[in-house]
Chains A and B, each alone.
Chain A
């Protein structure tokens, strides 16, 4: 069951959707969500530009996407109806706030006739509910002014939909009381509206039976509902604990990454230092400074900030210090679509710096995976003394799913050791510290923290002499250092899991290769194609640089390779260049994820249609 809540930016649709999601999670449904809101904080009320929506997919079985076409649309005004109706499945259910369909709002939404009366909604099941006036009626006894009363109507809608889908109400009631505890009258009004909506669903003859979505059969364990940015922030805290390095975040606010800064700034008990820097460059600069001092340095941003940080990333590559650069991708170029998702920064992550400047790149594939990917990024950064780029995106950042909590004891030890003694004898026979002497296996350099007696040394962005780290303009040395830095990153392939093929491993006609947030859509789309008799294998990449050792063999084992991406084919280019295979690309850059049916169709098209 897929429900889409839509209204004006000021109508509280994100809050309504979020609460419905929490109630569903506690009820035991599997779920996936997708908030979809405009970049403007408050676009003019009632206009198409101001429509804010929240889609939630609840299910009695394991699901991986927020769903293709909503089954139910809750539209709080004409603009919401006009914007969102085209997404609704044929014959779907529409619940509208009848009170909002006055001439003024209809005109603002661009309707010449009222869609509720002109017959244009005949193909749908439409429930017209006077939500505004019913809400006002419910809260009037509390002494709330009509104008303020109207603001509780999202809770009326929430109560109504909660009844329709038999959500337990206790959690929401407790939440309202707690959330608005500082404003008792607002709490009372919202509560009254919520109960009125619920009661309306129960008593009105509009609905002849409630919809029931049973709990899903999920693996046993303790679950919580998590979005990608929170999971990522918690993963960073976990990485700090597991590495025994204090966490330092240098960050500049940017959509959709800011919530990581917000979350981390709460957790001072974990020794987390956060700096809201003066700009993106200072964010990464401070993180480099903290890393130099022995902290786990992190900077978080989105595309425009990645561009600004590029020079500093080059410095971190030259300094060979651990650093995490987290890019929550959004639509570009330039300011682009700040609140819409895209995954078009992959080639920038690979190549967006001057000189030969390789660094590891890894990507999360679901909201909860952000937790583990943060730990893995830190593991690689610390072990190999290198900056690591972690790619997430706006969809993962804000989307939620139930997460079976890991056992903390099972998380890896990613601690490291620092140099405390000289590591070299110079030509004068003196014991000295050479900061660029490397571990022969990992090629990681020796790391001595400021404060360590006897190991004083200078590092910097000028090319360094192999070993001593002194400034060197020697051409042989430069070539050797360029190769050493590349080889260090390439060798990480020996230290990451091999790629795993899923689906019809032995006899697939087609391999679908994905990375990032397309995971859920690919899973659902491939399974649909398999249900129609096609043999499909899938591989999803977490490690993008270096690629897993076995990726080339996997790619060559199947007759056809299809690469769905939320860009114009960036991974497919890399695969073609690296492995000389005919990787076909299917792309989408519409600010929203692939739907399962789009990928099912792309798979069938690649295979020449149904057998």
Chain B
């Protein structure tokens, strides 16, 4: 905080001395590597960076970052990060969470942090399973899923995390996956640079309890036909030679089409800055699960008042209007009388 020059750092400077203890082969390793690689490029000081997590496999993340960090309690990281970000606007506050932590026990804190647009960056590792408790279905598990707690198949309708975030009018909503480091780096950077709450869903493979959950869209050999990259200002096209595209129609919402059938002009042009969340919501509904063509990238990135900054503005304005508070005057602010 004392010197003005940001020291040059490397990935190693951002790695703590703690041994990483995820299962061998876990997707969390590649996400951790991406974040540690990104940090030196963001121009941040390690001491000004804080990772806050809840409970779950993903929540071990802060221990492995050589920054300030708090491994808190189940689901509450967005609430804790809210207080920290309001109190200390000088810090860069990241929340690392999983699908159980953020979509289930902490669902309320997540939606309210996004609604308020607190200045935090939320990385949600979605593996569609409870890993730390050893294999129960999660609120993002598909219907019919057989797990330890659903031996006859899950009857629970899952959340679509991006629909939830967009429904809460999060000002930045994106998706990436653990098999594509370059894409993660790009999306994490965009999320960090966004002012306000940034929500990133990361498809993350749990190779022990839910192996291959996203293979249908993220495996190298199917990606081209199954992942729909979103680029602001461009028609939404994917597939070999861009033969597939996404079109808006009045009846069914957004749907995948053969470009040859409809013509390029009929394709939807992606506008991440659209204030109204409805179109981003339609895009989030395009795939019913990771077995259908799935958009990745930035769904929504809009400017909206950020709660913590506004709170601090009110404080500054009060002091500017009436001067700083004086305790002596406060005690005498009601009716007083003298007893001799």
Interface residues of A (CB under 8 A from B): 22, 25-26, 28, 171, 218-226, 234, 237-238, 241, 246, 248, 250, 267-273, 275, 277-279, 281-282, 285-295, 297, 311-312, 314-315, 319, 404-406, 408, 450-462, 470-471
The listed residue with most A CB atoms (<10 A of its CB), out of B66, B83, B315, is B83
- What CA separation (Å) do A459 and B63 show in the bound complex? 8
Given pairs A270-B330, A285-B72, A285-B79, 11 additional interface contacts (CB within 8 A):
A26-B337, A277-B112, A285-B80, A288-B83, A405-B332, A408-B327, A451-B68, A453-B1, A459-B69, A460-B62, A461-B73
The listed residue with most B CB atoms (<10 A of its CB), out of A22, A26, A288, A471, is A288
Q: Looking at the assembled complex, report how far the CB atom of B111 sits from the nearest CB atom of chain A, in whole angstroms.
A: 8
Q: A286-B82, A451-B90 are contacts. A222–B332 as well, Cβ < 8 Å?
A: yes
Q: Looking at the assembled complex, report how far the CB atom of B102 sits from the nearest CB atom of chain A, in whole angstroms.
A: 14
Q: A226-B334, A268-B318, A454-B47 are contacts. A278–B339 as well, Cβ < 8 Å?
A: no
Q: Are B87 and A408 in contact (CB under 8 A)?
A: no
Q: Are A458 and B16 in contact (CB under 8 A)?
A: yes
Residue of A nearest to B318 (CB): A268
- What CA separation (Å) do A408 and B327 show in the bound complex? 7
B175 within 8 A of A: no
Out of B45, B82, B314, B337, which one reaches A289, CB within 8 Å? B82
Q: Kindly list chain A residues whose C-beta atoms are within 8 Å of the C-beta of B314.
A: 268
Q: Are A458 and B71 in contact (CB under 8 A)?
A: yes
Q: Are A292 and B336 in contact (CB under 8 A)?
A: no
Q: Looking at the assembled complex, report how far the CB atom of A178 sits from the nearest CB atom of chain B, in whole angstroms.
A: 12
Q: Are B79 and A271 in contact (CB under 8 A)?
A: no
Q: Kindly list chain B residues whose C-beta atoms are within 8 Å of the C-beta of A281.
A: 76, 79, 109
Q: Looking at the assembled complex, report how far the CB atom of A518 sits from the nearest CB atom of chain B, in whole angstroms.
A: 27
Query: 1/0 per residue B1-45: CB within 8 Å of A?
Result: 110000000000000101000000000000000000000000001
Q: Are A451 and B315 in contact (CB under 8 A)?
A: no
Residue of B nearest to A407 (CB): B328
Write 9 A-B pairs (CB below 8 A) sorted by A numbering.
A28-B339, A171-B335, A219-B339, A224-B331, A270-B325, A311-B73, A453-B1, A453-B45, A459-B69
B323 within 8 A of A: yes
Q: Are B70 and A241 in contact (CB under 8 A)?
A: no
Q: Are B50 and A269 in contact (CB under 8 A)?
A: no
Q: Looking at the assembled complex, report how far the CB atom of A36 sits from the nearest CB atom of chain B, in whole angstroms.
A: 23
- What CA separation (Å) do A25 and B338 show in the bound complex? 11
B154 within 8 A of A: no
Q: Are A223 and B69 in contact (CB under 8 A)?
A: no
Q: Are A450 and B48 in contact (CB under 8 A)?
A: yes
How many residue pairs, one in A and one in B, have C-beta atoms under 8 Å apart?
206
B275 within 8 A of A: no
Q: Kindly list chain B residues whose C-beta atoms are within 8 Å of the C-beta of A270.
A: 324-325, 330
Q: Kindly list chain A residues whose C-beta atoms are within 8 Å of the C-beta of B63.
A: 458, 460, 471
Q: A219-B339, A269-B324, A458-B70 are contacts. A234–B83 as well, Cβ < 8 Å?
A: no
The listed residue with most B CB atoms (<10 A of its CB), out of A269, A279, A451, is A269
B250 within 8 A of A: no
- What CA separation (Å) do A238 and B340 show in the bound complex? 26
Q: Are B80 and A289 in contact (CB under 8 A)?
A: yes
Q: Kindly list chain A residues whose C-beta atoms are within 8 Å of the C-beta of B269.
A: none
Q: Are B73 and A289 in contact (CB under 8 A)?
A: no
Q: Are A223 and B315 in contact (CB under 8 A)?
A: no
Q: Kindly list chain A residues whose C-beta atoms are within 8 Å of the C-beta of B87.
A: 246, 248, 273, 289-290, 293-295
Chain B's interface size range is 35 or more
Q: Looking at the assembled complex, report how far the CB atom of B16 sits from the nearest CB atom of chain A, in whole angstroms.
A: 7
Give residues 45-104 of B contacting A (CB, 8 Å).
Answer: 45-48, 50, 52, 62-63, 65-73, 76, 79-88, 90-91
B319 within 8 A of A: yes
Q: Kindly list chain B residues whose C-beta atoms are within 8 Å of the C-beta of A238.
A: 327
Q: Kindly list chain A residues whose C-beta atoms are within 8 Å of the C-beta of B323.
A: 269
Out of A28, A295, A456, which one reaches B46, CB within 8 Å? A456
Q: Kindly list chain B residues whose C-beta atoms are within 8 Å of the C-beta of A456.
A: 46-47, 66-69
- What CA separation (Å) do A111 and B84 show in the bound complex? 59
Q: Are B318 and A221 in contact (CB under 8 A)?
A: no
What are the 8 tightest A-B residue pairs by CB atom distance, in nearest-first order?
A289-B83, A460-B71, A285-B79, A286-B83, A270-B325, A289-B84, A268-B318, A269-B325
Q: Kindly list chain B residues whose C-beta atoms are within 8 Å of the C-beta of A225.
A: 334-335
B220 within 8 A of A: no
Q: Looking at the assembled complex, report how far the CB atom of A449 sits from the nearest CB atom of chain B, in whole angstroms.
A: 8
- What CA separation (Å) do A405 and B340 show in the bound complex? 14
Q: Looking at the assembled complex, report how far the CB atom of A201 sits from the nearest CB atom of chain B, in whole angstroms.
A: 24
Q: Kindly list chain B residues whose C-beta atoms are within 8 Å of the C-beta of A277.
A: 79, 82, 112
Residue of A nearest to B46 (CB): A456
Out of A25, A226, A282, A450, which one reaches B112, CB within 8 Å? A282
- What CA separation (Å) do A319 and B82 show in the bound complex? 18
The listed residue with most A CB atoms (<10 A of its CB), out of B87, B91, B318, B322, is B87
Out of A25, A269, A453, which one reaches B2, CB within 8 Å? A453
Q: A268-B318, A269-B324, A282-B108 are contacts. A461–B82 as well, Cβ < 8 Å?
A: no
B311 within 8 A of A: yes
Q: Looking at the assembled complex, report how far the CB atom of B317 sits from the nearest CB atom of chain A, in whole angstroms.
A: 8
Residue of A nearest to B1 (CB): A451
- What CA separation (Å) do A268 and B47 show in the bound complex? 28
Q: Looking at the assembled complex, report how far the CB atom of A447 sits from the nearest CB atom of chain B, in whole angstroms.
A: 12
- What CA separation (Å) do A415 and B47 show in the bound complex? 23
Q: Are B48 and A451 in contact (CB under 8 A)?
A: yes
Query: 1/0 per residue B299-317: CB within 8 Å of A?
Result: 0000000000001101101
- What CA separation (Å) do A295 and B86 show in the bound complex? 10
Q: Are B72 and A405 in contact (CB under 8 A)?
A: no
Out of A285, A405, A454, which one reaches B82, CB within 8 Å? A285
- What CA separation (Å) do A279 and B69 show in the bound complex? 24
Q: Are A459 and B325 in contact (CB under 8 A)?
A: no
- What CA separation (Å) do A237 and B327 show in the bound complex? 8
Q: Looking at the assembled complex, report how far the CB atom of B198 sits from the nearest CB atom of chain A, in whole angstroms.
A: 18
Q: Kindly list chain B residues whose C-beta atoms are within 8 Å of the C-beta of A292.
A: 70, 80, 83-84
The listed residue with most B CB atoms (<10 A of its CB), out of A287, A297, A456, is A456
Out of B16, B66, B68, B328, which one reaches A450, CB within 8 Å? B68
Residue of A nearest to B82 (CB): A286
Q: Kindly list chain B residues whose C-beta atoms are within 8 Å of the C-beta of A221.
A: 338-339
Residue of A nearest to B84 (CB): A289
Q: Are A461 and B71 in contact (CB under 8 A)?
A: yes
Q: Are A460 and B72 in contact (CB under 8 A)?
A: yes
Q: A293-B87, A456-B66, A456-B67 are contacts. A224–B335 as well, Cβ < 8 Å?
A: yes
- What CA separation (Å) do A288 and B254 show in the bound complex? 43
